[in-house]
Chain A
Amino acid sequence: MVRVLEHRILQYRRTYRASIFGSFVSPVLFLTAMGLGLGGYVSGSSTQTFEGATYLQFLAPGLLGAALMQTAAGESMFPILGGLQWNRIYHAMYATPIRPRDIALGNIVWIAIRLMLVGTVFAFVTLAFGAVRSPLVVLAVPAAVLTGLAFATPIVAFAATQRRPDVFSTIFRFGITPLFLLSGTFFPIETLPTWLQPLAWLSPLWHGVSLCRSLMLGTIGDDPLLALIHVFVLAAIAIAGTLAAFRTFDRRLVGG
């Protein structure tokens, strides 16, 4: 597993500057447009606050969770399919004493490291925007990484069953994007029609966003049980996804 991770780090050395610069751009754009622009507009028109915070402060943790979900999804699709189908380097790894599950786990740990980097950059941007209210923000980053892993691991497992990337855009269109919009990222889910609200409970992103928000706003003490449930749900998905990835990597590399 460690060797596989070493391989990914070696690959990353070639592109890390562009990649880290890229992870600054997206939060700056979103926080400027949605947080300052839209946020200024909504707060200006009413005296309403968002869970006791400004819109920018409310939005930042939502975007953090959502950004790591999207990074996780992207990192779990094409690179995995590529290693199995295009340059087939996973097949070359499997010709050594490395086991299929080592390859799966190495990639998942790598994705976690990538998410940690993107999340940390995001936290610094948020800090620069003055949108951080609680020092617990240092825990919000790992919480967002866990959120990302709840998406990454099942997608890695799924990607290992595919031979072409056709379904990936469908996952984004009908999975990632609706969750991005409807999981409490931009507004509290209580604003949704009542019949839609229970569905949010099914969204891993809602659990992630809610957890990150309670940490960044420092409101976690209000409902610690809910926070625990969030952690439990996200961790359960991430573990199940990892075990599924072990199975699909085994099948793919041993079977064909």
Chain B
Amino acid sequence: MPTPASESSLIHARGLTKRFGSFTAVDAIDFDVAPGEAFGFLGPNGAGKTSTMRMIGCTSPVTGGTLSVLGMDPNHDGARIRSRLGVVPQQDTLDNELTVRENLIIYGRYFGLARDECRRRADELLEFVQLSDRGTDLVEPLSGGMKRRLTIARSLINEPELMLLDEPTTGLDPQARHLLWDRLYRLKQRGVTLVLTTHYMDEAEQLCDRLVVMDKAKIVAEGSPLQLIARYSTREVAEFRFAPGVQEKLDGSFNGLADRIEWLPDRVLLYAYDGEQVVAASRERGIVPETVLVRRSTLEDVFLRLTGRSLID
């Protein structure tokens, strides 16, 4: 597992813990984020991702363990760390009473930038997120995707070294998501370190060099998307669906065909290196599915294996 040396880490956490009263939101987690890396926190709702992000963003005090961000201690240098971060919160926090451009300018002022400099950067950033023609419009009528892009532009006004993105594309349509990913990828190419949370597996595969899966306040796995798939899933998955009533009578007939078999109410998943071979072998055993689908394993398979299929509210 390629864990970078802690001296060069942009973020270094050991035993990091967050408690709210008797509730433990983050339970003694360890991780390191290297400069220039895109690092993801994956996990179901309530796994502790946002609490972790808020501790890194120095807006929520650490309850236990050690955390250093940009080589500083959030408990003592919160304001200094925040001045070098770009934060994209889960919910948009734009000022609807101001125009698109004014939102950027006033935000730059919060970082102590001169007005001229704020204006110059605002125009550059509007260009970058493709909102130049909306600069003088109010924020309210913008689409969800545009608001997100504006939020990202706003978080870049202080030219941060480290960006914290909490579910950056939740609720957006596919076009808007792809545009956002493209912009984030460009930032990464410029050397900006990205830390993001998501529960979209495709987002994690697209953006993250390395990620951790969180479940119930703990880190349950760590690695690159490919490493995680290799470790917790197989190369391919064969999905069998049957006519009503057939699946129940199949008990045991798949035995030995795959590395792992998962029985779901509506289908059977066979995890194996070669999916087509599994299909052929099952046919020889006289198993007749209604439909069969062979696909590559994804992070979603890893995620569901690690965090379970039961619904978490």
| CB pair A91 B110 closer than 8 Å | no
Contacts of B96 in A (CB 8 A): 87
| CB pair A3 B94 closer than 8 Å | no
Is B133 among interface residues, defined by CB-CB distance under 8 A?
no
Interface 1/0 per residue, A233-256 and B, CB below 8 Å: 000000000000000000001110
Question: What count of chain B residues pass the 8 Å CB interface test?
Answer: 27
Is A99 among interface residues, defined by CB-CB distance under 8 A?
yes
Distance from B51 Cβ to chain A, minimum over Cβ atoms (Å): 11
Q: A10-B102, A97-B111, A98-B110 are in contact. Are A89 and B95 (CB under 8 A)?
A: yes
Interface size class, chain A: 20 to 34
| CB pair A97 B59 closer than 8 Å | no
Distance from B126 Cβ to chain A, minimum over Cβ atoms (Å): 17
| Docked complex Cα distance between A254 and B111 (Å) | 19
Q: A96-B111, A97-B112 are in contact. Are A11 and B97 (CB under 8 A)?
A: yes
Is A168 among interface residues, defined by CB-CB distance under 8 A?
no
| Docked complex Cα distance between A51 and B215 (Å) | 74
Is B212 among interface residues, defined by CB-CB distance under 8 A?
no
| Docked complex Cα distance between A95 and B82 (Å) | 6
| CB pair B59 A253 closer than 8 Å | yes
8 A Cβ contacts from A7-53 to B? 7, 10-11, 14
Distance from B164 Cβ to chain A, minimum over Cβ atoms (Å): 9
Interface 1/0 per residue, A68-106 and B, CB below 8 Å: 000000000000000000011101111111110000000
Q: A10-B98, A97-B82, A97-B83 are in contact. Are A3 and B110 (CB under 8 A)?
A: yes
| Docked complex Cα distance between A110 and B87 (Å) | 27
Is A6 among interface residues, defined by CB-CB distance under 8 A?
yes
Q: A3-B109, A11-B98 are in contact. Are A254 and B93 (CB under 8 A)?
A: no
Apart from A89-B95, A96-B110, list 8 A-B contacts with CB within 8 A.
Answer: A6-B109, A11-B95, A87-B93, A92-B94, A95-B57, A97-B112, A99-B79, A253-B59
